[in-house]
Amino acid sequence: QVQLVESGGGLVQAGGSLRLSCAASGSIFSINAMGWYRQVPGKQRELVAVMINGVSTNYADSVKGRFTSSRDNAKNTVYLQMNSLKPEDTAVYYCYADGYIYSYSGTSGKSFSSWGQGTQVTVSS
């Protein structure tokens, strides 16, 4: 019902920058949380940066001061600006969003939570 499409991953040298984008589409009434997680093979998916109600952002300690998340509410799009990238930032980055979809009456309906397909970020040393 709600689809998330990511873009912007790739290969970059250590110290470089990348910007990820994630656009949500579907019958979205409101978005509560929207942001980014990452996962490397053999490890659990971990939070990178998630914006709550478009106001506050929770960042992983490992990315504070280097990564910045922003959101365009009109476009239901979230961005992740990643600076000073390190080899340990290499992972598949997943977009996440939750909130509510429209009901048939045009008001808030059922809740949703969705994941994107993931985009690879590789940082070479």
Judge whether 17 and 83 are in contact, CB under 8 Å: yes
Q: What is the mean pLDDT of the chain?
A: 95
Q: Which pLDDT score, from 0 to 100, does residue 53 have?
A: 85
Partners of residue 46 on adjacent β-strands: 38
DSSP for 5-31 reads EEE--EEEETT--EEEEEEEEESEEEE
Does residue 81 register a pLDDT over 90?
yes
Residue with tokens 């790739």: 10
The stretch 4-10 carries a mean pLDDT of: 95
Judge whether 110 and 101 are in contact, CB under 8 Å: yes
The stretch 87-106 carries a mean pLDDT of: 93
Residue with tokens 């984008």: 21
Does residue 106 register a pLDDT over 80?
no
The stretch 52-62 carries a mean pLDDT of: 92
